[in-house]
Chains A and B, each alone.
Chain A
Amino acid sequence: EAQVTQNPRYLITVTGKKLTVTCSQNMNHEYMSWYRQDPGLGLRQIYYSMNVEVTDKGDVPEGYKVSRKEKRNFPLILESPSPNQTSLYFCASRRIGYGYTFGSGTRLTVV
């Protein structure tokens, strides 16, 4: 089944403890992206990648890192999470010129 898989679905962590949210797609899509969704603010792009080893900042990149060492994987790294990064995170992938397919989301709480 064609899909974007992200893990974990739920995560509670403490301020400052590094964490990684994994994302994998099996559709050979060139583009991958991370979004965060917050009430009243909608979906905001954090980082995106156009292909292996090619990444760029989205609208809200501060406090996040990404890497794209393989085409299928695009992990999101929070080196020192803070409470304002508590949010619902979505990974997404797409072919050039087409719309994004989203994962099921990761609900992150930073205490």
Chain B
Amino acid sequence: VVTQEPSVTVSPGGTVTLTCGSSTATVTSSHYCYWLQQKPGQAPRTLIYDTSKKFSWTPARFTGSLLGGKAALTLSGAQPEDEADYYCFLSYSSSSNWVFGGGTRLTVL
């Protein structure tokens, strides 16, 4: 099971860290963690892959890392448009299985 905070609130301009844990093991770079953003009525958009790598469209204020045995997505300088659901996605390559976390609803308020 991949665990995420169900909901988190951040103030505009503030900093927040979302985490992604695994019930079976410490999350490491071998889980190749992805972070996705999904806004209501839209398809997901992948922001981060391989723990910390960004795409050309990933805003600089998003950073992926490993933190305290979990994967983490840090948003520095939250904007109203960052309000969305965020999902992490972990690889369990030893069992040929890939699993999404349950998602975190981020509110910018």
Binding partners A and B? no
B residues sitting closer than 8 Å to A (CB atoms) are none
